[in-house]
Structure 1
Amino acid sequence: MKINSSRFIVLTLLVILAAFSRALPLVVDHTWNFTAVGALAIFAGAQFNDKRLAFIMPLAAMALADLLFLRNGFSLLVYSGFIAMVACGFLIRNKVNTMNVILASFISASVFYLITNFSFFYPVTLYPRNFAGIIASYTAALPFFRNMLLGNLVYSAVLFGSFYLLSKRYPVLAKA
């Protein structure tokens, strides 16, 4: 597969910038979970021609941002959720349009919410390990789901919109 190096560089820079938005709560007071990371996963899945890179680039950028800024450890559930979000980007990769980006934003936030708040997965949890505990976990996480969904929608508009405008200005960035 021939790699368009200009496209690869621009996509990689956009993914890294979006991943580093995870550090924003450390410098400004903003709403938790309203970040670009969900949008970057969808964007990577939709835009990287090589499916391996679609997974590797956003996960590596997030791991680097976590290491540098968050220092709260690696969460297999969180990264599994982001892997699922990249897969949502695959669903729209050959048909990127406004409605599909909105749908991918909603589906990916929903999948992430379902994966990361299923309390049985955690070795230590605030909730009892029964149906009531699962419902309590999901209920407590609703504000985070809302914020992630809004972040996905806003940052997807920024990422996909920016790349669309750049591709129109610099045709070398278009998919091969």
Structure 2
Amino acid sequence: MKTKNNIILIAGTLLVLAISRLLPHPYNFTPLGAIAILGATYFQSSLLKYIVPIVAFYISDLLVTNILYSSYYAGEGIIWFSSHMIWTYGAIIGITLISSWVMRSKKFKNLLGASVVGAVLFFLITNFGSWIADPIYPKTAGGLITAYVAGIPFFPSSLASTVFYSVLGYGVIEYGSIWLRKLAFSRA
């Protein structure tokens, strides 16, 4: 997908998915992994593969933190960045890197594989970050295991949402690109 319209379609889909975090949803059911997977799948530019998903998620983080969770940060003004986000963005980069390899062939089965691997990677990176950053966990092997065990209840929603949003975004982009080609052909 090289045309300007396709880039707008892909970036727009990722941005809409990111902003969907503002809608009511089950806990930990977010499009994070899907945004990284779809960016890696459809952007040919290595720069866009990483930048667009990170920017889309950063915009949604700004909105979620400062609108939905503003009561947690009362009196602090606008929250532009918080330290826990480093681990989330690290997960986005990792998912993008792996998905760039897995999704070289844009097959549906590869999308499902990338979704599972992406959800597992997100679990591993963010719970490792919790262990590093949260003083509740001792900095021992037992503390790391405790951090991972504490994250297990959140994993099913993360996995389901990564698969759901990846399939949804894949469908929108694939069918949207077909529609754009037909539109361009009809104008020719």
TM-score bin, normalised by smaller chain: 0.7 to 0.9
Evaluate the alpha carbon distance shift between residue 51 and residue 143 of structure 1 in structure 2; reply closer, same or farther with a 3 A threshold.
same
Partner of 1:12: 11
Partner of 2:71: none
Evaluate the alpha carbon distance shift between residue 15 and residue 113 of structure 1 in structure 2; reply closer, same or farther with a 3 A threshold.
same
Q: Larger Rg: 1 or 2?
A: 2
Whole-angstrom distance in 2 between the partners of 1:138 and 1:47: 32
Q: Which shifted more, 101-110 or 80-89?
A: 80-89
Evaluate the alpha carbon distance shift between residue 138 and residue 170 of structure 1 in structure 2; reply closer, same or farther with a 3 A threshold.
same
SS of 1:32's equivalent? coil
1:58-77 matched pairs, under 5 angstroms: 58-71=53-66, 73-74=81-82, 75-77=85-87
Q: What is the TM-score normalised by the length of structure 1?
A: 0.87
Whole-angstrom distance in 1 between the partners of 2:39 and 2:5: 15
Report deviation, 1:3. 4.8
Aligned counterpart for 2:37 among listed residues 35, 42, 60: 42
Partner of 2:72: none
Whole-angstrom distance in 2 between the partners of 1:38 and 1:166: 21
The aligned length equals: 167
Q: What is the TM-score normalised by the length of structure 2?
A: 0.81
SS of 2:144's equivalent? helix
Aligned-residue identity in percent? 29
Contact 1:23/1:70 (<8 A) preserved: no
Q: RMSD between aligned alpha carbons?
A: 2.0
1:1-150 matched pairs, under 5 angstroms: 3-24=2-23, 28=24, 30-71=25-66, 73-74=81-82, 75-118=85-128, 119-122=130-133, 124-150=134-160
Q: Which runs of 5+ in 2 are unaligned?
A: 67-78, 184-188
Report deviation, 1:136. 1.0
Q: Which runs of 5+ in 1 are unaligned?
A: none
Q: Given the alignment of the two structures, is residue 155 of structure 1 paired with residue 154 of structure 2, yes or no?
A: no
Whole-angstrom distance in 1 between the partners of 2:63 and 2:131: 29
* Residues 60-79 of structure 1: per-residue CA shift (max 9 Å, x gap): 11111111222464311111
* Residues 32-52 of structure 1: per-residue CA shift (max 9 Å, x gap): 211112101100001001011
Whole-angstrom distance in 1 between the partners of 2:50 and 2:182: 23
Report deviation, 1:131. 1.3
